[in-house]
Amino acid sequence: MQAPAFWWNAPAHPGWAARLLFPLSWLYASATARRVRHTGWRAPVPVLCCGNIGVGGTGKTPLGLDLAQRAIARGRRPAFLSRGYGGHRPMGTRVDPDRHTARDTGDEPLLLARVAPCYIGADRAVSARQALRDGADCLLMDDGFQNSTLHQDLALVVVDGAVGFGNGQVLPAGPLREPVHSGLARAGGIVMIGTDRQGVLAGMENGPPCFTAMLQQDVGNVPRDRPLIAFAGIGRPAKFFDGLASMGLSPLRCMAFADHHPYTRTECRDLLALAAQSNACLVTTEKDTVRLPPDMRAQVTTASVHLAWDTPAMPERILDLWLGRTDA
């Protein structure tokens, strides 16, 4: 399913569909408020959550990968904790990217496990205990800001600068999992990824510290003498397509699928046939590539992504808040 267009209306004009859904939004927000009031298990090591207030892709996974690599550079032994959306392995399973597939563990854990050990499960405390037994000395939650099973020593709210908090309404009237004010009250920091087009950071001088970064894509050796067909099944496919455009690439077609979409053999054949008709090169995201059949991956160009911080001090400040100062 794709997010409805009215979710991205201006907060002052959420639209009639959103207004009709206000009663259901109140119920959803109330359930979230009850859940986050619970105190989760407190791990004996520092726990950082890279989460968000809304649904969809904001850049949480690239942020987590960046911070984990920086923690490793400091001599720490981080481990990722992920829900493993769409997977079916038992809680606490350690992800093995050489053995598991996206159908086993979800797509994001396969990417995370390339950098540091990753454990999946809705109960983050179960995963945390397994990570500690395996030698982790700090934990990083990929999503889970509203998950109360594990105490979060530092929680970062990640915001997509292009859409901000959408129409400002809670599901199903809008894209939010909880009201902005309640989410920011629990946050230890805000990470704005991309240009703040919605003015989210305006007037936050007395709020949590704000950090800013840009997502940068790299399509590697994509042939410049052939047309492109881009496809993506991520939280906001337009972000991927816009990134290609910013690199001067103009795909013949941009095909959007639902987030975490499991590609079928038929869909793969259709994509390959479409590319063959125009002698085009298929290009997609890293998250999509791990959901493709292995024999399809060699026929697709994968665009990698990384964070470019506005200042080098920003991620180091986050690590200081999470792990303690390096000179302590």
- Look up the pTM and report it: 0.93
> Is 60 exceeded by the pLDDT of residue 22?
yes
Q: Are 157 and 51 in contact (CB under 8 A)?
A: yes
User: pLDDT exceeding 90 applies to what percent of the chain?
Assistant: 84
C-alpha triplet 112, 50, 260: angle, nearest 5°: 55
Phi, psi of 316 (to 5 degrees): -70, -35
> Is 50 exceeded by the pLDDT of residue 328?
no
pLDDT tens, 190-246?
999 999 999 999 878 778 999 999 999 888 777 778 899 999 999 889 889 998 988
pLDDT tens, 115-142?
999 999 999 999 999 999 999 999 999 9
* Assigned fold of 42-214+308-323: Rossmann fold (3.40.50)
pLDDT tens, 27-79?
999 999 999 999 899 999 999 999 999 987 788 999 999 999 999 999 999 99
* Calpha distance 305→142 (Å, rounded): 16
Please give, one letter per residue, the 3-state secondary structure of the chain. CCCCHHHHCCCCCCCHHHHHCHHHHHHHHHHHHHHHCCCCECCCCCEEEEECCECCCCCHHHHHHHHHHHHHHCCCCEEEEECCCCCCCCCCEECCCCCCCHHHHCHHHHHHCCCCCEEECCCHHHHHHHHHHCCCCEEEEECCCCCCCECCCEEEEEEECCCCCCCCCECCCCCECCCHHHHHHHCCEEEEECCCCCCCCCCCCCCCCEEEEEEEEECCCCCCCCCEEEEECCCCHHHHHHHHHHCCCCCCEEEECCCCCCCCHHHHHHHHHHHHHCCCEEEEEHHHHCCCCHHHHCCCEEEEEEEEECCCHHHHHHHHHHHCCCCC
- Was domain 218-306 assigned CATH 3.40.50? yes
- Residue 279 banded pLDDT, cuts 50, 70, 90: very high
- Which residue in this structure is represented by tokens 């969809």? 56
Q: Are 252 and 280 in contact (CB under 8 A)?
A: yes
Residue intervals of the chain classified under CATH 3.40.50.300 are 42-214+308-323
